[in-house]
Amino acid sequence: MTSKKVGYAIAIIILLFLGVFDYFLPNQNQKVSSQASTQNTNQIVMTTSTVTTSTPTANTKISEPISNALNRVTKKSFGLYVTPKNSPVSPEKFTGYHTGVDFETLPSEQNTDVPIYAICDGTLTVKEYASGYGGVAVESCKINNADVTVIYGHLRLSSITPKVNENLKAGEQIAVLGTGYSTETDGERKHLHLGIHKGKSINILGYVQNKNDLGNWINAVTLLR
Ligand SMILES: [Zn+2]
């Protein structure tokens, strides 16, 4: 091969590469601009990859378990490590990583019924009185095509109207909150503890001692946004 031919061959290879890049680059830019408005290139890349891997989660919403839900998350968020000494509530009897999200009530709601709604289409699997909760309901449903069990804690047990094994519709009222500092809430303030446990097995633990175990739970706030 003459050096001229080698030169042509290299030129053709370079042109092919440029063509390939031209083909892909505009598409990627479109994706980035539609999914992220961040200026920093590194952040754009990170945001884009996050969106790509978590698209089902980001697109799936749950119904509000309580009116004005997101504004009520003021004390115990998902994963918060709580001890009787550092807790945002007192008295505190628990120690561990919070497996759910707490939705608080207003002073004006202490003597009125505060309705609690199913967050997904599913089946009521448990209603019982449990230590630490008072009345608790558990619903089995699917979120992002994955089985989960949803724990609604501190309910007035007698107000849980659906029967066990009955189907629930997202947004359907299932109960009202128990009266604060009574047996209905097992002595806790009037609030909703909402836990979402991965899989079909029922686990109503409100706290775990090992941080890694939080991986078995889903933060409801991420599904409400
Ligand atoms: Zn809680």
Of 22 and 121, more confident: 121
Helix, strand, coil percentages (3-state) for the chain, rounded to 5, are 35, 25, 40
| pTM: predicted TM-score of the whole model, two decimal places | 0.74
Clarify whether residues 38 and 82 are in a common domain: no
Q: How far is the CA of 56 from the centre of ligand 1 (A)?
A: 26
Q: How far is the CA of 19 from the centre of ligand 1 (A)?
A: 56
Q: How far is the CA of 75 from the centre of ligand 1 (A)?
A: 9
Please report the pLDDT score of residue 19 as a whole number: 45
Number of domains forming the structure of the chain = 2
Q: How far is the CA of 76 from the centre of ligand 1 (A)?
A: 6
Please report, for residues 54, 81, 99, 201, 217, the alpha-carbon distance to residue 212 in angstroms, rounded to integers and kept in the order given: 20, 12, 11, 18, 10
Q: Which range in 10-14, 41-45, 209-213 is most confidently predicted, on average pLDDT?
A: 209-213
Domain residue limits at 103: 63-224
Among 106, 98, 120, 100, smallest CA distance to 71 is for 106
Clarify whether residues 116 and 80 are in a common domain: yes
Q: Is the pLDDT of residue 44 over 60?
A: no
Clarify whether residues 170 and 205 are in a common domain: yes
| pLDDT tens-place string over residues 78-102 | 999 999 999 999 889 999 999 999 9
